[in-house]
Amino acid sequence: MSKINLPLAFETRMKAYLGKEEYEAFSNALDEEVPVAIRYNPFKPIPPLENSGKIPWSSNGVYLNERPVFTLDPLFHAGAYYVQEASSMFLDHILQVLQPAKDGIFLDLSAAPGGKSTLLSSYLGEDGFLVANEVIKARAAVLKENIIKWGLGNTLVTQNDPEHFRDLEGYFDLVLVDAPCSGEGMFRKDPNARSEWSPDHVQLCASRQERIMDQAGALVKAGGLLIYSTCTFNEAENEEMVKFISQEYSYEPVRIPFDQSWGITETVIDSEGEFYFGYRFYPHKVQGEGFFITVFRRPESAPSLQPKKTKEYKHPYITSVGKQESERLQETLSLPDQSVFYNLQDSFFWLDAAFQRGFEFLSRYLNIRYFGVELGKFNKQQFIPNHELAVSRFAKEGFMQYALDKSQALDFLRKEDLELPGIPEGWVLLTYEDQPLGWIKNLGNRSNNYYPKEWRIKMR
Ligand code: SAM
């Protein structure tokens, strides 16, 4: 592929910002290989992939020696790890340092394809609840797929414009805005980003970010955290946005301690005499792509929103499940004691009872694409399990299991017919290296492959 030059206006600005000598190192780094990084799913433990070491600011991230063909690794489809650029995993370090309460409700406002949402979901684990939102429909579908594969059941996927959150001011314990940006930090990973860049586009992105932050800044409750990030270098979308946020809303600065050997650059931002902090990632200084992140805390005096419990749950298409049917589900699937169930289009969904009120409140305002774990349905005495249940963190007791080798696992993911000697009759959970991949129903003379057709892999 012929090399696409860096845009001249970008070069001029970066030279002025970094100085001539450092600019050389920066632009040389943009011609180097992109480091490949993954983050393990702590709820789906697997043997380590061949790697060249831990990402210093991440509890579950490692650099890989080389880029494998992820499509041909069944563990990738099982949600055992997520392929994520290393710099953005600094979000994990922020969480580890600040330790926001794990039983809170977090919001990822611009979440697709789900890199940071899966990170937040891992942090919240079995205790917390995440709203992963994406405004663009097709991207929300990818986000949903990645959340389902991650399998923790602690996430509500929504598809809304930030404006639709206006009745939820002061509601969230943490709000992350990983803003749509001009993508200068992607110039190495995606050379096409170079030709799409222009000074006008930077200004357009900055105005859009102001509109988003105008809404997002109000959503954090007293004492909660607001995190803003971009994958770009210019100040208009980074430091200037920090000033905008701090001048629009009352927020306290948060400084994040880190090891100087990591190569991260801290910038100190003077906003009307108050000092805020930003963290810049440059490809010539860290093993990762360009990235910027900043953290604010909402003062204790800010308003918080506490929804009241409603007597009866009313929603145009989601209904709550009665006691008898809930007990039947709980017994059939050996689900946790603290469970609530909902019905949507004939299918049952599981949710942690601790988030019943939060979910029911949020569902009055937001356009829901997925929540908790979709379980399946009863057909007379038989339970018909859904794929979402297969890849969830639940144990799936009571279902037979069958371990596949790699070539069988790939055929299953291609949705092909499988010849599996000695497979029991009925619903069988297929696994690869102990990780569930999906269901097959063996009818004796043939078996049906229930892998979702829209996720099937086409590569050989
Ligand atoms: N957080 C994601 C991750 O880590 O995988 C990446 C998010 S990407 C940088 C920004 C997202 O913002 C895109 O998915 C884009 O569709 C979405 N977006 C675009 N316009 C938006 C708007 N006006 N308000 C909120 N989000 C928007």
DSSP-assigned letters across all residues of 216-255:
HTTSEEEEEEEEEEES---STTTHHHHHHHHHHS--EE--
Average pLDDT taken over every residue of the chain? 96
Atom of ligand 1 nearest to the CA of 177: 1
As a whole number of Å, the CA-based R_g of the chain is: 23
Q: What band does 212 get if pLDDT is binned at 50, 70 and 90?
A: very high
Q: Which atom of ligand 1 is nearest to the CA of 116?
A: 4
Phi, psi of 161 (to 5 degrees): -75, 145
Q: Which residues does the annotation mark as catalytic?
A: 231
Pocket residues: Cβ below 6 A from ligand 1: 110-116, 134-136, 139, 162, 178, 180, 208, 212
Best residue among 110, 120, 136, 142 to mutate for probing ligand 1's pocket (most ligand atoms within 8 Å of CB) is 110
Q: Whose CA is nearest to atom 17 of ligand 1?
A: 110
Ligand 1: distance of its center to the CA of 397 in Å?
A: 38
Ligand 1 center–CA 310 separation, angstroms? 33
Tell me, in angstroms, the distance from the centre of ligand 1 to residue 180's CA. Answer: 5
DSSP 327: H
Q: Is 59 exposed, middle or buried (0-12, 13-18, 19+ CB in 10 A)?
A: middle
pLDDT at 241: 98
* pLDDT more than 70, % of the chain: 99
pLDDT band at 381 (very low <50, low <70, confident <90, very high): confident
Percent of residues, the chain, with pLDDT higher than 90: 94
Note the pLDDT tens digit of each residue in 20-69: 999 999 999 999 999 999 999 999 999 999 999 999 999 999 999 999 99
CB 320 within 8 A of CB 348: no
Q: In whole angstroms, give the CA distance from residue 171 to residue 43.
A: 28
E strand or H helix at 320, and its extent?
strand 318-320
Q: Does the structure show a pLDDT above 70 at 256?
A: yes
At 350-379, the pLDDT tens digits run: 999 999 999 999 999 999 999 999 999 999
Residue 186 has pLDDT above 50, yes or no: yes
Q: Mean pLDDT across the stretch 442-460?
A: 94
CA of 116 from ligand 1 middle (Å) equals 11
Q: Measured in angstroms, how far is the CA atom of residue 20 from the centroid of ligand 1?
A: 33
- Tens-digit pLDDT profile for residues 285-343: 999 999 999 999 999 999 999 988 778 899 999 999 999 999 999 999 999 999 999 99
pLDDT at 308: 81
Question: How many alpha carbons fall within 13 Å on the CB side of residue 142?
Answer: 11
Buried/exposed code over 340-363 (b: 16+ C-beta within 10 A; e: otherwise) = bbbbeeeebbbbbebbbebbbbbb
For 231, counting Cβ atoms within 10 Å of its Cβ (0-12 exposed, 13-18 middle, 19+ buried), the class is buried
Mean pLDDT to the nearest integer, 148-158? 98
Tell me the pTM: 0.98
pLDDT at 1 over 50: no
Per the CB < 8 A criterion, the answer to whether 105 and 131 are in contact is: yes
Residue 147 has pLDDT above 60, yes or no: yes
Nearest-CA neighbor of 52 among 71, 69, 66, 73?
66
Strand, helix or coil at 302? Answer: coil
pLDDT for position 4? 82
Half-sphere exposure of 188 (CA within 13 A, CB side): 23
